[in-house]
């Protein structure tokens, strides 16, 4: 995919799936603005890797659950690059526990980052996209938002909410040249899955028809497709990237 003269904002872009998305877009020629919550070193490593691919890249610290922080970050991106063409809402957190033991604060933290954060980012870029009569928004949901998962009521609710947000925004923005889609990754090899016990990994793999974990670059390539010109007639859709897990 080619993204010459395009500027992409990727939330949660410092590592894992977010880093892979930044690199995929940078390899296609996009300017990349990656938002990160706290790991400055990882964020700068990702930005440097994007620059090595020939792209311009900027890392901005931003808590996506903070409306003023999001507004300031998008303003900075527009000031530096003049436009925002692509928004990838990837930032996410987990606070797993069973319902009876889940603290209200943990439910709120997950929903505020994963769902409210996506809403705030869309709200603060959509005006610029409407002026351009062009935009690509890709929200990162999860297979958990499609099928649920014990011990993740907060995460499942937030990721299911992202799907609803995607469809509502797609209906509102379609006539302004802006598409809104989502990807729903399944069991992807990241730092988080690397920390799982072997029995937990085996249990998860047993539910995947493909018989293996996915890779971050496989998610990134799907995001790049939805962010590109070839997906201009696709909006309001959810693409599961899960080896058949959600069938």
Q: Are 143 and 242 in contact (CB under 8 A)?
A: yes
Q: Are 94 and 155 in contact (CB under 8 A)?
A: yes
- Only one residue has tokens 């769902």, namely 115
List 36, 81, 134, 155, catalytic entry: 155
Our answer to whether residue 36 is catalytic in this structure is: no
Beta strands in the chain (DSSP E): 7-11, 31-36, 57-61, 86-89, 135-140, 178-185, 188-189, 214-215, 238-241
Torsion sign, CA atoms 113, 232, 146, 25: negative
CB atoms within 10 A of CB 54: 9
* Chain-centre distance for alpha carbon 151: 22
Beta strands in 53-119 (DSSP E): 57-61, 86-89
Would you name the residues annotated as active-site residues?
155
């Amino acid at each position: 995919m080619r993204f010459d003269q395009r500027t992409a904002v990727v939330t949660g872009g410092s590592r894992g799936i977010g880093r892979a998305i930044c690199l995929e877009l940078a390899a296609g020629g996009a300017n990349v603005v990656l938002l990160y919550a706290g790991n400055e070193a990882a964020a700068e490593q990702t930005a440097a890797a994007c620059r090595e691919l020939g792209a311009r890249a900027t890392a901005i610290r931003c808590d996506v659950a903070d409306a003023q922080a999001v507004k300031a970050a998008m303003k900075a991106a527009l000031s530096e690059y003049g436009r925002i063409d692509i928004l990838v809402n990837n930032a996410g957190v987990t606070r797993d526990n069973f319902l009876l033991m889940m603290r209200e604060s943990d439910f709120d933290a997950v929903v505020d980052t994963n769902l409210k954060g996506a809403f705030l980012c869309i709200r603060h870029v959509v005006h610029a996209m409407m002026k351009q009569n062009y935009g690509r928004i890709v929200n990162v949901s999860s297979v958990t938002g499609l099928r649920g998962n014990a011990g993740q009521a907060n995460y499942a609710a937030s990721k299911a909410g992202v799907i609803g947000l995607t469809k509502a925004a797609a209906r509102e923005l379609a006539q302004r040249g802006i598409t809104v889609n989502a990807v729903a990754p399944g069991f992807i090899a990241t730092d988080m899955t690397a920390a799982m016990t072997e029995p937990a990994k085996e249990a998860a793999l047993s539910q995947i028809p493909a018989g293996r974990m996915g890779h971050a670059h496989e998610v990134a390539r799907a995001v790049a497709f939805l962010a590109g010109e070839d997906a201009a007639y696709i909006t309001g859709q959810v693409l599961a990237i899960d080896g058949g897990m959600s069938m």
